[in-house]
Chain A
């Protein structure tokens, strides 16, 4: 697995950095900032941001994968301190067997803690647990002037808030303390419930909101995304085995050079028909990794889309208008001239993250993947953004490769405050695109 530093995960954003630096320790990282030549700088983890938020065309990328040490672990309270390049996979490998997991994880383990903070990632349990930043105890941040700052909700509180969801632009996270949560076993109860229309999906979600921790929806592209499965899960409270499975990776990376996205489209078709017919509905037991990390069965799946790549559109729709806005979005897709290759929904609850630019807000979050059909896709995505803007929804920068900066600016009113905490020598392609004066 080699990291492609000039593409976003979706393969549609490109831009080669002038240099890539690979610090092997926090000291190496500090060394980089003894001179600010060769800036602007940007930290990069495992490259799972879909668009251009981890690209720095013409600047210096700092590859953080080897800043990967655990620093301390409080076995009584479950507080882990680790460097920013530690991946969720590494945490699982060590701490699951000790009975601890991260309280909030995205759909893949292949993200670093630095990336999880920079994008304030969320999981399927946002309604109960909030986003990643909610569980962040403190962090050490290095600014490009060499200053190392301890940040937590009391000390340097504003910088702490700006850094959570701050897209890596306020400084580089050196290390962080995270509150883990205890688990009794790797076993989870899951339930797949079919729904026949959006109203039914939302009433299912309302009915299970309190009693189940994890909530997601798979929408069937063959039914215009109006039918599908409502998926809920919770951790088992019975004692059980805690053996974390060894990672198995099918290397698909080389496919990224294919001139066609046909394998990707076929794969998504197969995945959707598996969801449509292959999944047993009703309640059953399943293992934690299959429920929380569905994407990791095929870690390089993005390569299936070859050179053309794909886009993901993820937004959150405010609670009060979620159902009607969801319906609007699907209408746009129906008239958009192109089918969705994958559509997934999640619910966000009221737990507020400290992050100034944190993406989650109470409501419904819809993520749709589209193969890259050039202008047709661009037009469709712009139309979707219009619906998001009209209902005061929010786009997700970690997934974005092409939105208009006006949407970003209206959706994130804290931007003005955020700018005060920007590090002058850090920048990303995403940020330049958003801040470009038109």
Chain B
């Protein structure tokens, strides 16, 4: 059954994909609570969503890498929305593979942002949702977690960890009536990927957000964005390592 999202708590709301998705919700008159690092950017997004028709938008400024604040941030979001229909985790960084390879500190900070902060939030949110007994918990992972590849295995590893955690939560929370969605976009043309060469499989934040919207309304499990990444990744997962090396993808 389709249950429209009326209230949503969004972490990393100013990321391009989260922004595009929030705009869809705002257009339907949803109430949103946005968490992010840059106060000015959050406020201008809040204004944007207000113009688009959101019934209410509140913001909280926080650096999500500081997991110590998570409990309070989640509590605040819960109170603000009176228990949200949807929580979306969308914060993350990409870094540059070449730079990451030679600098462990950069890798550590990538893991902190893309994995540890997500797991910390997910563990808190899972308990909240279990108590609430309804709702949807979603996080933006990536197709790059499906198989380690030379071009982005560090980023990929954080996403693989995140996806694995989400799969576990799906099973655990299914009994409580909570949907858990592992969102796996392919490469998307956003400020985060500005430095990369774009190809025909690239998508836009708007397109990914529309696909998310279709899926988040009623689905549970893994959602490839756009859909064509499911068959592509199915093939890439089973390719023999020697062939993958030779293809250089």
Contact = CB atoms under 8 A, between A and B. Distances in A.
A24 B41 contact: yes
A82 to B, nearest CB: 8
Interface in A80-127: 80, 93-94
Given A27-B41, A70-B52, A1 B200 contact: no
A20 interface: yes
Interface string A52-93: 000000000001001001111100000010000000000001
Contacts of B16: 24, 66
B40 interface: yes
A60 to B, nearest CB: 12
B45 A69 contact: yes
B191 interface: yes
Nearest to B52: A94
Contacts of A70: 47-48, 51-52
Nearest to B204: A1
B194 A71 contact: no
Contact of B44 (A22, A69, A251): A69
A436 to B, nearest CB: 31
B225 to A, nearest CB: 16
Chain B CB within 10 A, most for which of A1, A26, A253: A1
Interface of B: 14, 16, 27, 38, 40-41, 44-45, 47-48, 51-53, 189-191, 194, 198-200, 202, 204
Contacts of A63: 194
Contacts of B45: 69
Nearest to A23: B191
A251 B44 CA distance: 32
Given A69-B45, A70-B51, A94-B27, A27 B40 contact: yes
A388 to B, nearest CB: 38
A26 B43 CA distance: 12
Main secondary structure of the interface of A (DSSP, over half): mixed
B189 A2 contact: yes
A26 B200 contact: no
A71 B189 contact: no
A20 B51 CA distance: 30
A22 B194 contact: yes
A254 interface: yes
B40 A21 contact: no
B47 A72 contact: yes
B48 A71 contact: yes
Closest 10 CB pairs of A and B: A22-B194, A2-B198, A70-B51, A69-B48, A24-B191, A22-B191, A73-B51, A70-B48, A25-B41, A254-B200
Interface in A1-55: 1-3, 20-28
22 contacts: A1-B189, A1-B204, A2-B199, A3-B189, A21-B194, A24-B14, A24-B16, A24-B191, A25-B14, A25-B38, A26-B44, A63-B194, A66-B190, A70-B52, A71-B44, A71-B48, A71-B51, A72-B51, A93-B27, A94-B27, A251-B200, A253-B200
Contacts of B204: 1
A28 B44 CA distance: 13
Contacts of A3: 189
Nearest to B47: A71
Contacts of A72: 47, 51
Contacts of A253: 200
A292 to B, nearest CB: 21
Given A2-B189, A254-B200, A94 B38 contact: no
Contacts of B200: 251, 253-254
Contacts of B52: 70, 94
A83 to B, nearest CB: 8
Contacts of A94: 27, 51-53
